[in-house]
A and B are shown apart, each in its own frame.
Chain A
Amino acid sequence: MRFSYYLNPQTPGPDDDERVIDEVFGQLELAKSMGFTDTWITDHQFTGYNVFSDPTTMAAAISQRVPGLRIGFAVAVVPLMHPVRFVTQCNLIDQLTKGNFVAGIGPGNSPDEFDGYGLDRELRHEIMQEFVQVCDLAWEPPDEGGFEFHGKHFDVEVRGRIIPAPIQRPRPHMAVATGTPERLEAAGRRGWSLLLGPQEVEFIAARLQYYRKGMDDAALSPEARARAWEHTSIVRQLYVAEEGENWLEELDDVLDTYTRKSLRANTGIDDLPKADMEKRRAEYLKRGWLHAGTADEVFERLRPFAELGISNLMCWFNFGHMQDERIRASMARFHERVMPRLREISPPEDYLSSLIEQNEGMATEASIP
C-alpha cells in the first residue's frame, strides 16, 4: 500500500482562501518528506467545499512547488469542461510531472455546479460519454492531420495536433469514479483505474467483480491489469489523535463544518432543521468516510484495505476547516505509528478473489429506503 495526500480542503470564506492555499502547499511538502508519493486532487466549485476549485491549474502549481509527487485527479468533473481543452491541459500536466500523472474523471454530482455552468445535471452521464469519445480521438487521432467529432454536446474539428504531446503515450493513464455494473465493466475493459469512495471491503469486492469481468472480457494484458490496479484507490478522512485525546470533543467544530459543507456541495440544500442535521452528523460518524482515533484504532480501520491489496490509500487530513497545526500533528502520528504497520501487510494470496466470490451479486451502490 502506498499513501497519497488527498486534497479537498474547505475554506471559511474569501478572506481565508490565500491562507488555506498556502497551508495546503506546506502540507504537501510535509507529506512528501514523510514518504507520501502522490497527491490526488478534486474538483468542486461555488460552495466553499474546495478552496482551489480548478484541478488543472492546481496540478500545474503542485508540479512546480512540490516536484516529484505523482498527481492524480480524483476526479475532474468533465461535463463542466471542454474535452479538447482538457486533453491539452492533461498533456501539459503530464509534461510538467514527467509522466507522473493520472487523469481521473467523473460525471460530477453537485446541483450548484451544473447550475453554475448552465448545464442540465440529468445529462451528466451522457455528456461524459461524448466527452470521452472526443478525448479518445484527441489522444489517438485517426491520422496526423487532426480529427472531427460531431455530436450532441460537442462539435469539433481540430486541424493539427494537440500540443504538447503527453509523455505517457498515447495518453496519460486514466481513472474513473463510478458505481454501476455497466460502467465498472467499461472501466475494466479500458484498463482504467478505479477510484473508490467510503465503501467497506465487501462493497468494494462487489464492485471489483464487475471491474474484473470487464478486464477479462477485453482480455487485458497482465501489464495493463497491473497498471490499472496500481492506481486503483480508496479515500478516507483521517485523524490520528494523541493517546488519551478526546478527539470527538476536540473536533466538534470540524465535524460540524464538514457535515454542513458537504450537505451544500452534494445536494444544493443550504441547511437542515436541527434534528436532521444532528442525524446527518451521526450518520457521517457511523459511515466509512472518517477514520479517527488513536494510531492503533486508525490502523485497525485501515488494515482490511491493506489486506485486500488496495494499492493507493488517499489520505484526507485537511477537512472541516481543521487548523494547520492540528493537521500536521495528525499527519506526523500517522507517519510514525500507522504507515509503517500498513506497509508491512502483505495481502493474503487469493483473498481478493475469495471475497469477490463471497459477495457475488451484491449491490454495487447504496439502496434507497
Chain B
Amino acid sequence: MPGEADSRRIATELAQDRNLDAVDGLGAEEVVEHVRRELASADSALPRAEIAAALVRLGDRRAGSEHPHEAVTATKEAVDLYRALAAEEPDPHREAFAAALESLAVRLAALWLHEPAIQANREARRLRRGAAIEG
C-alpha cells in the first residue's frame, strides 16, 4: 500500500508536471486518493490551484482513453478543489472554477450523463454572470 511519501511525491509532481507523465501509469481514482491524502496532511504546502489545474488536464487526457469515467473522476476532484478555493477567495479563482465546471459538463455529456452535465454547465454559467460562490 502506498504511503504518505508516495502521496506527497505524486501530488508534487502533478502540480509541477505539465505533461502529467508522473501519473501516466495510475488510475484517476488512485491519483485523487493521493492528492486528498497529501492535501489533508497538516504540513502540506502544495499549491491547490496548480493541482486542480493539473487534474483538469488529466481529465482532458483521459477523455480520449479507453476509461473515460476516469476523466469524470479527475475533473470532479478539480471542481471540488476550485470550489473550496473560490469560497475562500472568489475573484482569483472564479474563471478557473467556471472552466473546470464546463470541462466536467463536457466529460459527463460524453457519457450521456445529462442531468449532472446540465447542473455543472448551469453552475458555470451562473459563475460567469457573477453569482455568489458557496462553499
Binding site for B on A (CB under 8 A): 109, 111, 121, 263, 266-269, 272-273, 275-280, 283-284, 287, 366, 368-369
Give the complex CA separation of A18 and B96 in angstroms: 44
Give the complex CA separation of A109 and B117 in angstroms: 12
**Interface pair B112/A269, CB less than 8 Å apart:** no
B131 interface hit (Cβ, 8 Å) = no
Q: Digit string of B105-135 for contact with A (CB within 8 Å is 1, else 0)?
A: 1110111111111100110000000000000
Q: Digit string of B57-89 for contact with A (CB within 8 Å is 1, else 0)?
A: 000100110001100110000000000000000
Contact partner of A284 among B60, B63, B112, B122, CB < 8 A? B112
Give the complex CA separation of A299 and B116 in angstroms: 34
Contact partner of A111 among B60, B63, B110, B118, CB < 8 A? B118
Query: Interface on chain B toward A: helix, strand, loop, or mixed SS?
Result: helix
Residues of A within 8 A of B113 (CB): 366, 368-369
**Interface pair B73/A369, CB less than 8 Å apart:** yes
A237 smallest CB distance to B (angstroms) = 14
Interface positions, chain B 43-58, Cβ under 8 Å from A, are: none
Give the complex CA separation of A310 and B122 in angstroms: 37
**Interface pair A276/B63, CB less than 8 Å apart:** yes
**Interface pair B112/A276, CB less than 8 Å apart:** no
- Pairs A–B under 8 Å by Cβ, sample size 20: A111-B118, A263-B109, A267-B117, A269-B105, A269-B117, A272-B106, A272-B109, A273-B63, A275-B63, A276-B63, A276-B109, A279-B64, A279-B110, A279-B111, A280-B112, A283-B112, A368-B115, A369-B69, A369-B73, A369-B111
**Interface pair A283/B114, CB less than 8 Å apart:** no
B30 smallest CB distance to A (angstroms) = 15
**Interface pair A276/B117, CB less than 8 Å apart:** no
**Interface pair A276/B72, CB less than 8 Å apart:** no
Residues of A within 8 A of B107 (CB): 276
Residues of B within 8 A of A263 (CB): 109
Give the complex CA separation of A121 and B64 in angstroms: 32
Contact partner of B114 among A109, A121, A273, CB < 8 A? A109
**Interface pair A273/B118, CB less than 8 Å apart:** no
B46 smallest CB distance to A (angstroms) = 26
Known: A269-B121, A272-B109, A275-B64. 10 other contacts (CB 8 A): A111-B118, A121-B118, A268-B121, A276-B106, A276-B109, A277-B110, A280-B111, A283-B111, A287-B112, A369-B73
Binding site for A on B (CB under 8 A): 60, 63-64, 68-69, 72-73, 105-107, 109-118, 121-122
Contact partner of A266 among B106, B110, B114, CB < 8 A? B114
Residues of B within 8 A of A284 (CB): 112
**Interface pair B109/A269, CB less than 8 Å apart:** yes
Give the complex CA separation of A106 and B19 in angstroms: 46
With A275-B64, A368-B116, A369-B69 given, is the CB distance from A269 to B106 under 8 Å? yes
Give the complex CA separation of A272 and B106 in angstroms: 6
**Interface pair B106/A273, CB less than 8 Å apart:** yes
**Interface pair B109/A267, CB less than 8 Å apart:** yes
Give the complex CA separation of A309 and B122 in angstroms: 40
Give the complex CA separation of A366 and B108 in angstroms: 13
With A279-B63, A283-B112 given, is the CB distance from A267 to B118 under 8 Å? yes
B114 smallest CB distance to A (angstroms) = 5
B64 smallest CB distance to A (angstroms) = 4
Residues of A within 8 A of B72 (CB): 369
B38 smallest CB distance to A (angstroms) = 23
**Interface pair B109/A280, CB less than 8 Å apart:** yes
Give the complex CA separation of A121 and B68 in angstroms: 28
Residues of A within 8 A of B117 (CB): 267, 269
Give the complex CA separation of A366 and B110 in angstroms: 15
Give the complex CA separation of A273 and B113 in angstroms: 16
**Interface pair A267/B111, CB less than 8 Å apart:** no
